[in-house]
Structure 1
Amino acid sequence: MKLQLLAVLALATPLFFTTAVKADNPQDLQKLLTTGECIDCNLRGANLSSAHLIGADLRGANLQNANLSGANLEGADLTGANLTGANLTSAYITNVNLKQANLNNANLTRAKIYDSNVYQASMNNLTITDAEIYHTGIGVGGEDAEIPDWE
């Protein structure tokens, strides 16, 4: 009986500790996780929760509806990336290049956003509840809101 229980536990244990990492293109996800670079990749719907993406090159990547909650994106290059509907709750976003990125409907609740470039980024319907935003052109305003020119 003990041997059977031990066998069941040995087989089931990995199921309890495996993080669901998925994306529309698993090869692109694996490339990002092994090299830190994934230019023009399809990472739509990827679960990158709590990922360490420090200095990652994600220029032009499709991260639509990706889960980046708690991720560390320090120094990442997301120029032209599609982050529509992405979950960036509690993400660490410092010195990140978001130039011309699409952040429409992104959730930045409790995110820490410092010194990041959002020049020409699309930022409609952002959720920025309790976010810390310093030296970054994100704010509450309408069409007449002043956005700094980072060029």
Structure 2
Amino acid sequence: LRGADLRGADLRGATLHRAKLKLVDLSQAILTQANLSESDLSRANLRDSQLTRANFRDASLHMADLRGATIVSADFLDADLTGAIFN
């Protein structure tokens, strides 16, 4: 799904384990309780997305844009957040 346009997608509870999501546009997407563990979200656009209780364990969010995202009880254990933008 590299570079896919998933703006505003409702992915509530989706299982995206080990997904290749590099450069994907997930701005304003609903990822509440989604499983993105071990996924590659490098340079993904997650601006203004809903990440409540999402699982990003061991995921790569290298240079991802998370500005304006709602992040409540999300799991980023061992995730690569190098260069990620939060504000």
Provide TM-score, normalisation by structure 2. 0.95
Divergent runs of 4+, >6 A: none
Correspondence for 2:81 among 122, 129, 133: 133
The CA RMSD over aligned residues, in Å, is: 0.9
Q: Deviations over 1:85-115 (max 9, x none)?
A: 0000100011100010001100001001111
2:13 to 65, 87, 96: 65
Which structure: greater strand fraction? Answer: 1
Offset, 1:130:
1.1
1:52-84 CA deviation, whole Å, 9 max, x = no partner? x10110000000000011001001001100000
The gaps in structure 2 that reach 5 residues or longer are none
Once residues 31 and 64 of structure 2 are traced to their aligned partners in structure 1, the CA distance between those partners, rounded to angstroms, is 15
Check if 1:118 corresponds to 2:62: no
* Match status 1:76 vs 2:13: no
Q: Which has the higher contact order (CA 8 A, sep 6+)?
A: 2
Q: For residue 62 of structure 1, what is the amino acid of its counterpart?
A: D
Aligned length: 87
Point out where structure 1 has 5 or more consecutive residues left out of the alignment: 1-52, 138-146
Pairing 1:1-80 to 2, within 5 Å after superposition: 53-80=1-28
Structure 1 CA distance for aligned equivalents of residues 80 and 8 of structure 2 = 26
More helix by share: 1
CA distance in 1 between partners of 2:64 and 2:76 (Å): 15
Q: Secondary structure at the match of 2:61?
A: strand
TM-score, with normalisation over the residues of structure 1?
A: 0.56
| Percent of residue pairs identical | 34
Cα deviations by residue, 1:102-140 (Å, 9 ceiling, x for unpaired): 011000010011111111000110111111111114xxx
